[in-house]
Structure formats: C-alpha cells, structure tokens
C-alpha cells in the first residue's frame, strides 16, 4: 500500500485504511454525500485533496 497521497485519488478500500475505518463506513459516507467519489482513469476514487483535508482535521467525539 502506498504511503503518499497520489494526485488522482484513492479507492474506497485505500481511503478506509488511511482513515482507520471500515470500507463500509466510507461507502456509507459516499452514499450520504459526505465524501465525493469521482471517476478517474476508469476507476472510482475519492480525490486525494479530500483525504488530505480529512486527515488534517481533529477527530470528533473522542477525548482530546
């Protein structure tokens, strides 16, 4: 698995791994419109810039 963010984006499974959640959670976020899914090079991916933004935000709901 790559450790740097590609310019094109990540598959749902890769995004889930990076975010530390199950793929089903990412699928649900896409279905609810919370994460964009775009077609690039014949594959559906979540844009890397979206993941960069999410990874830079503090998590909600936990203790600091």
Residues 6+ apart with CB under 8 A from 14: 1, 2
Average pLDDT, the chain: 85
Q: Confidence band (pLDDT; 50, 70, 90) for 41?
A: confident
Q: Which helix (H) or strand (E) holds 39?
A: strand 38-40
Q: Confidence band (pLDDT; 50, 70, 90) for 12?
A: very high
Query: Higher-confidence residue: 2 or 14?
Result: 14
Q: Look at residue 59 and tell me whether its pLDDT is greater than 70.
A: no
Query: Higher-confidence residue: 57 or 26?
Result: 26
Q: Confidence band (pLDDT; 50, 70, 90) for 40?
A: confident
57, 50 Cβ separation under 8 angstroms: no
**Measured CA distances, 27 to 3, 13, 23, 62, 64 (Å):** 21, 9, 6, 22, 27
Q: How far apart are CA 58 and CA 41, in angstroms?
A: 32
């Amino acid at each position: 698995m790559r450790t740097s963010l590609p310019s094109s984006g990540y598959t749902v499974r890769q995004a889930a791994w990076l975010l530390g959640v199950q793929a089903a959670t990412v699928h649900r976020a896409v279905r609810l419109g919370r994460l964009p899914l775009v077609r690039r090079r014949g594959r559906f991916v979540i844009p890397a810039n979206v993941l960069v933004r999410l990874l830079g935000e503090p998590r909600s709901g936990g203790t600091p």
